[in-house]
Amino acid sequence: MQIQDLPYPDPGVPDARSGPRFLWWLFRNQLGGQVRSLAWGLVHFLSVSALPFCVGYAVQAVVDRSGTRLALAGGLLALACAGNAIGDTFLHRAAITNWITAAARVQQLLARKAATLGSALTRRVAAGEVVAVSTGDVEKIGWFVEAVSRFTAAALTIVFVCVGLVVYQPSLGVVVAVGLPVLALAVLPLLPRATRRADFQREKAGRATELASDTVAGLRVLRGIGGEELFLDRYRSASQEVRHAAVRSARMWSLISAIQVLLPGLLLIAVVWHGVGLAREGRISVGELVTVYSSVMVMTYPLRHFEEIAMAYSFSRPSARRAARVLSLRRATSEDGSQAGTAPTGDLYDPATGLLAPAGRLTAVVCGDPDAAGRLAERLGGHPSSTEGEPSVLLGGVPLDELPLSAARTAVLVQDKDPVLLSGTLRELLDVPASGDVDAREALTAAQCEDVLAALVQGSLGAEDPLDARITERGRSLSGGQRQRLALARSLFTDPEVLVLDEPTSAVDSHTEARIATGVRELRAGRTTVVFTSSPLLLDRADRVVLVHEGEVVAVGVHRELVHKEPRYRAVVTRETEPEELQELQELEEIEETA
């Protein structure tokens, strides 16, 4: 895989059981690139390692006054320099390719997972953590995957040089062969502490990123309640914790770097001391002493890769663990589904709560707990919670969990209470899979978007057609009610077999809400629509109203009937507490259970 071939046609199925397993899976899926990087790495490092032998041979030729051997040494030196240049160039090219393609594979996997889980992803993992994984973490993961082949080439080069020196000059070669492995392994006792400090730093940085992401997402609310300074102080404190953790981690890594500078120097002193004694005794030549000395100096270069691979693994391990955690999230059963074919039709039924939404009718659901309503809306869309043994929602008698994801989403569309509007034109906002039976203008009219269109045209210079008006990122230039209505229009335009709306008019005034209720009812005639709401205006226009209390359906009827006969329904819809009636009802239920 080359960079120009990205993205991958299929990034594959990752091994997300743990961070190390995920890193190993990435490495195996880049085996071709890793082999190329290893080959060019060997060419580069061996060419660098050959330079001391060429220099030593040239020095000895000068001592022996041999022009032929000096010319041969010059030719070998030129060949080694050419190998060094070519190997370094193509090693860098292969390494960067491995880095970018590994990072791109992880990003594709994360994007596919986000598309698969939808809004259920942020219910299971904090939004800040998802952002951290998809930005900084993918680079660190790619760094380690890329560094493995370079480290392997450096380690093999050290082995070849040690063997070569022992054969070339046994008296000094043995000293170097014993000393170089000691240099490579000397920092191992410090790595666990350095790794713990690096993990602690990454944890603090991740928390700071989550706090920043959540603060930016809620900036409008924070300004409304005057909470900017409070959250600024929290982020400042979190930032200082990251700084302190980074300084402590840097101290440990600087100590490791210092050791890798100090120990090679001590080895050089030992080689020179011993070598000079051997030269005085006539046991080695000057050229051999220069060769061994130069080899030790040159070997400090591949030895640095031992430190790099340790750093890369220390920083990529928590990143891989977070990525594996996100990628290990699944639907309740299969993401691909065990059944094929077109999406079923019929009644929508949830066995867990007893909620029934008859086909072709508008059903309103009243739930006193907004969080429970959101979870139930997700269940109706084929994204149940991870509770083991929880039954699947049925559409026409077919479990949604057993449908392919594409078929489930074609059949049921869920609009949550906080829909996202991406930047672009209104035409691009409505460029979504649709049945074709609903016109964009009809959907915008039913959602009462006339004033929204006028505001968008006014804010977009040169846009004569409202559909060409531009929407800012997340629709920040619009009010909450305007964003809700645009999102509702997009859902209505899609025209799914079953449409589930979670509080679609919570930020809209009552007059507009009444018109929206009428527009939705008329446009969705003959289609199954489920609206989670406590608004009397929407409830009064529903064909069927269902009250869900503590995870179960406790009352079914129409709005005007339930508001008079059901105290719990009245308490949610009219915001009346009525403690005496509620207490009497609870006592009656306890008596019936006892009996």
Instruction: Identify which of 361, 348, 353, 354 has the alpha carbon closest to the alpha carbon of residue 558.
Output: 361
pLDDT value at residue 64: 85
Q: Angle at Cα 211 formed by Cα 207 and Cα 214, nearest 5°?
A: 135
Count CA atoms closer than 13 A to 194's CA, side-chain side.
22
Cβ atoms of 347 and 339 within 8 Å: the answer is no
Ranking 218-222, 228-232, 503-507, 584-588 by mean pLDDT, the lowest is: 584-588
What does the block give as tokens for 300?
A: 């400090």
pLDDT band at 299 (very low <50, low <70, confident <90, very high): confident
pLDDT value at residue 588: 47
pLDDT value at residue 587: 52
pLDDT value at residue 127: 66
pLDDT band at 399 (very low <50, low <70, confident <90, very high): confident
Query: pLDDT per residue over 184-193, tens digit each?
Result: 777 778 877 8
pLDDT band at 337 (very low <50, low <70, confident <90, very high): very low
pLDDT value at residue 581: 47
Mean pLDDT of 333-342: 49
pLDDT score of 10 more than 60: yes
pLDDT score of 334 more than 50: no
pLDDT value at residue 522: 93
pLDDT value at residue 491: 93
Instruction: Name the 3-class secondary structure at 3.
Output: helix
Percent pLDDT > 70 in the chain is: 87
Count CA atoms closer than 13 A to 154's CA, side-chain side.
22
Mean pLDDT of 273-291: 83
Q: How far is CA 108 from the centre of its chain?
A: 9
Instruction: Name the 3-class secondary structure at 549.
Output: strand
pLDDT value at residue 339: 46
pLDDT score of 35 more than 90: yes
pLDDT value at residue 387: 55
pLDDT band at 166 (very low <50, low <70, confident <90, very high): confident
Percent pLDDT > 90 in the chain is: 28
pLDDT value at residue 338: 43
Which of the four CATH numbers 3.20.20.120, 3.40.50.620, 1.10.645.10, 3.40.50.300 does domain 348-594 have? 3.40.50.300
pLDDT score of 556 more than 80: yes
pLDDT value at residue 8: 87
pLDDT score of 153 more than 90: yes
Ranking 25-34, 50-59, 257-266 by mean pLDDT, the lowest is: 257-266
Query: pLDDT per residue over 456-490, tens digit each?
Result: 877 666 567 778 888 877 677 788 888 899 999 99
Q: Angle at Cα 229 formed by Cα 225 and Cα 232, nearest 5°?
A: 120
Residues whose CB is less than 8 angstroms from the CB of residue 277 and which lie 6 or more positions away in sequence, other chains included: none
Q: What is the dihedral of CA 378, 379, 385, 390, to 10 degrees?
A: 170
Instruction: Name the 3-class secondary structure at 417.
Output: coil
What does the block give as tokens for 178?
A: 């014993």
Phi-psi region of 118 (alpha: psi -120 to 50; beta: other; left: phi over 0): left
Cβ atoms of 60 and 285 within 8 Å: the answer is yes
Mean pLDDT of 578-591: 50
Instruction: Name the 3-class secondary structure at 498.
Output: strand
Query: pLDDT per residue over 70-96, tens digit each?
Result: 899 899 999 999 999 999 999 999 999
The secondary structure element, H or E, covering residue 548 is: strand 544-549
pLDDT value at residue 384: 61
Cβ atoms of 235 and 262 within 8 Å: the answer is no
User: Where is pLDDT greater, at 268 or 25?
Assistant: 25
What does the block give as tokens for 331?
A: 């639907």
pLDDT value at residue 249: 87
pLDDT value at residue 589: 53
Q: What average pLDDT does the chain have?
A: 83
Could you write out the DSSP letters of every residue in 566-594?
-HHHHHHHS----HHHHHHHHHHHHHHHH
Cβ atoms of 464 and 425 within 8 Å: the answer is no
Residue 590, exposed/middle/buried by CB under 10 A (0-12, 13-18, 19+)?
exposed
Separation CA 566–CA 424 (nearest Å): 46
Query: pLDDT per residue over 424-455, tens digit each?
Result: 888 888 888 888 889 888 999 999 998 888 88
What does the block give as tokens for 542?
A: 């529903």
Peptide bond into 11 cis (omega under 30): no
Query: pLDDT per residue over 519-548, tens digit each?
Result: 999 999 999 999 999 999 999 999 999 999
Crossing angle of helices 67-117 and 138-168, rounded to 10° = 160
Instruction: Name the 3-class secondary structure at 439.
Output: coil
Ranking 49-53, 123-127, 289-293, 327-331 by mean pLDDT, the lowest is: 123-127
Separation CA 255–CA 59 (nearest Å): 37
Query: pLDDT per residue over 356-384, tens digit each?
Result: 999 999 999 999 888 888 888 888 887 66
Separation CA 415–CA 438 (nearest Å): 17
What does each C-alpha distance from 129 to 16, 135, 136, 211, 314 come to in angstroms?
Answer: 16, 10, 11, 10, 19
Mean pLDDT of 113-131: 72
Separation CA 373–CA 334 (nearest Å): 24
Cβ atoms of 28 and 12 within 8 Å: the answer is no
Separation CA 585–CA 576 (nearest Å): 15
pLDDT score of 404 more than 60: yes
Separation CA 492–CA 440 (nearest Å): 9
> What is the rounded end-to-end Cα distance, in angstroms, of the chain?
72
Ranking 213-227, 300-314, 321-335 by mean pLDDT, the lowest is: 213-227
Separation CA 109–CA 322 (nearest Å): 13
Domain covering 15-327, topology: ABC transporter transmembrane region fold (1.20.1560)
Cβ atoms of 43 and 153 within 8 Å: the answer is no
In the chain, where the domains are located? 15-327, 348-594
Instruction: Identify which of 385, 394, 309, 310 has the alpha carbon closest to the alpha carbon of residue 351.
Output: 394
What does each C-alpha distance from 329 to 101, 195, 384, 496 come to in angstroms?
Answer: 23, 27, 12, 26
pTM above 0.85, yes or no: no
Ranking 126-135, 292-301, 350-359, 439-448 by mean pLDDT, the lowest is: 126-135
pLDDT band at 389 (very low <50, low <70, confident <90, very high): low
**DSSP annotation of 430:** T
Instruction: Identify which of 405, 400, 403, 358 has the alpha carbon closest to the alpha carbon of residue 380.
Output: 400
Strand 498-502: give its sheet, edge to edge. 412-415, 498-502, 528-532, 362-367, 544-549, 552-557
What does the block give as tokens for 206?
A: 């991740």
pLDDT value at residue 590: 57
